[in-house]
Each structure stands twice: as C-alpha cells, then as structure tokens.
Structure 1
Amino acid sequence: MTAAEASTGPAPGRPRDREIDRRILAAATRLFGRVGWSGFTFEAVAREAGVGKPSLYLRWQTKEQLLSAALAAGIADIRDIDTGELRGDLRELGRQLSVLRLGPERRAVERMGLEAREIPGVAERWDHLRESQVHAARAMVHRAIDRGELPARTSVTLFLDTFIGAITMHATSTPERLKPEVAAKIDTYVEDLIGFLLGALTAQS
C-alpha cells in the first residue's frame, strides 16, 4: 500500500461507514453531472451528501481522487457478454449503452465526455470506460463473423459506428423531460435497430 492509499483509508479503530461512503459517492456523481468540474468542491459534495467535510477528508485527499472514486463506483464498464448469438449480444450491448446514456448517471457521463480530459486522474477512468466499450463491442461482431452470422467482408468499424452511434444519438438528442419515456421503450428501439442493421446486411449479401 502506498502512502497516498494509506492516507485515504479509515482512521485506526474507526471502521468506515459504508452507508456514508455510498452517500458521498452518489452525491459526488450527481453534483458533477449537474455543475461540472468548476463547481465540484468538497464543500459542495458534503452539502449534497448531507455530511460534514471531515467525512470527505478522512477518505480522500483531493477532489480529483473523490471524483475518480465516485465515477468508478457509479458508472460501470461495458462488459463483453456472450449469449451465443449476435442478436442476443447486441441486445446486451444496447442495454449497457442505454444505461450509460439514459440511466440515473447520464449527466455525469455527458460531463465526462466534455471535461474528463481536463481533470487529472479522471481522464484515465474515462479512457478505460471507452476502451471497455470498444473491446466488448468488437469482440461481439468478430464472434458473429466467425459463426457465419455476418458476412466475412463485414466492416466491424462501420457496423459498430452505426449501432453505437444510433443509440448514442437517440439518447443524447432526446429532451431531458422525455428521457424517462425513451428509457422505458429503449429495448424496443434496440430490437428495431438490430433488425434494421441485420436486414440491411442480408439485403447486400
């Protein structure tokens, strides 16, 4: 354990309260999504979480460490789920992307896309998230090609640009007041999108 890691742990003899941890991290994610990095301070997070600032300083030395921990706890990586067939894989990928873009942490995800590069330690978290998305998605398409579900000449990049880009645009272009309604119907949208893409490829083969 490094000195920095040791300094962010609980004080000797005082076990960390996991409920306070959860409240602080959830509040930090909400606050960042609402006000961005310029308004992200220990004082503001403490007020949002309903705790004293000492509770934050006992756990994190800097606001960069706090935000990085909050995003790691609140924004999941994209996982490669192998259902055994392309449609199932794409459904799972679509659901994961939809959670990012339409779920409760969507504002933080949007802020990350705009500001992560300017925040030390957080840019790495954003890069990891993006890489997990790319790796999982490409693995799904390559498996489909190997199984013969997609033509060997299929452009993996174009296929995924269309699929991921459509979901991202569908979510981000929706007015905030309509996002809950869109989120409730996202499975139908993803299913229609899958049918459209696979139908277009079949028509070309």
Structure 2
Amino acid sequence: MAATPAGRPRDPEVDERITRAAAEVYGAEGWARFSVDAVARRAGVGKASIYLRWPNKEALLAAALATRLAGVRDIDTGSVRDDLVALAGQVLHAFLDESGGAMLRLMLEVESLPAGQEHLDRFLQSQAAAARAIVHRGIDRGQLSGDTSVTLLLNTISGGALNHALTTPARLRAKVAAGADRYAEELVDFVLASVTVPS
C-alpha cells in the first residue's frame, strides 16, 4: 500500500506566480542582484513557500526559465505564410511579454548564469527546428522555391523580431507587445516577397 504524502499538495497557481516573479526579477535586476527575498516580495509569498519548492536561488531561476521561456512551437496551419507569422509572433512575445526581460537578460549573461547556455540553447534550437519544419513543408507544398535557405529565412525573421524587441524603449514595451502579432505579419510578408513561388 502506497504511503500518503504528508502536508497539503502544492498550489499550481502559487508555483506560477513565483516563477513569473522570478523571471521578472531576473529580467529587471540580472543574476548579480537576483535573490529569493526579491522574488518573494514580488510574488507576494513568504520565503518559506519558495524554499518548500526550490532549495536555492539557482534552482528557482532554472525553474522560472524552463517554464516561462519554454521555447518556440512548430505550428502547421497549412500555409507557409501563416506558419511563419506564428513563428515570428512567438519570438516577439518571448522578448516582449511580461517575462521577456528575462529572455533579453539571458542573452546578455549567458556565460555567467548557471546553466545559462543550456536554457538559451533550448530556445534557439526550438526556433531552428520550427523554422526547418516550416520551410520543408513549404517546399513540399510548392509554396516556397526549392532552394530556400532555412538558415537565411530563420535569421531574417527571428533576427527581425529580436531587433524589434531590442530597440523598443522600456516605456513602450506594453504598447509594442500589444501590436506584436500585426508586426509579425508585416515582417513575414516583407521577407516572403523574396522567396515565395509566383502564382
């Protein structure tokens, strides 16, 4: 007979609030000033609630980065244009939404952050895998020319999305984030003009 776990089960809503707060504190303050105290204050919980879940600040931030910056998903809409818009939109939101500061900070501090390269690689590899799948489907469907470069297409679309996020002043982030989906469409339409097969 299995033993019954002691205590109350963890509250997923509290977990989500803590990891969101951890991503926000890291994005705003960086690793040098990241602390369990600061996360507890932002999340509105006691430090004991955090230590019940994660043994130290390294484990806390690792959990926050794993859950808040999960990566880019491949979406198959049947249209290469719509697939790429979805890809660009995910990249934009990763950098502009509430946890976006953590993504930007991770790119700056990747070498000094514990397991930083692992978290960044996961995100970048998910982008590359999604783009590769989209391009191959587009070529198979005759929506893209057969010599379309996955690397150039990814660099152009993801690079354009990243540059848009990086050049956005902090005071305008919420406004730009609200328009991210429209910008994703404009970016993709501009890029596709050079690689789509004429009707």
User: Which runs of structure 1 show a deviation greater than 4 angstroms over 4 or more consecutive aligned residues?
Assistant: none
Write out per-residue CA displacement over residues 41-61 of structure 1, whole angstroms, 9 at most, x where no aligned residue.
122222222222222221111
Distance 1:163 1:13 in 2: 49
SS of residue paired to 1:31: helix
Deviation, 1:14, is 3.1
- Structure 2 match to 1:26: 20
Deviation, 1:128, is 1.1
Write out per-residue CA displacement over residues 46-97 of structure 1, whole angstroms, 9 at most, x where no aligned residue.
2222222222221111211100111222223200111112011011112111
- Structure 1 match to 2:156: 162
- Is the aligned partner of 1:16 residue 2:16? no
TM-score normalised to the size of structure 1? 0.86
- Structure 2 match to 1:125: 119
Distance 2:196 2:19 in 1: 46
Structure 2 segments unaligned to the other structure (5+ residues):
none
Q: Please tell me the residue identity of whatever aligns with 1:157.
A: T
TM-score normalised to the size of structure 2? 0.88
Tell me if the contact between 2:135 and 2:148 (Cα under 8 Å) persists in the aligned partners. no
Distance 2:49 2:38 in 1: 13
- Partner residue of 2:91 out of 97, 122, 131: 97
SS of residue paired to 1:150: coil
Distance 2:197 2:7 in 1: 68
Tell me if the contact between 1:64 and 1:122 (Cα under 8 Å) persists in the aligned partners. no
Structure 1 segments unaligned to the other structure (5+ residues):
1-10
Larger relative helix fraction: 1
Which aligned pairs between 1:51-70 and structure 2 lie closer than 5 A?
Answer: 51-70=45-64
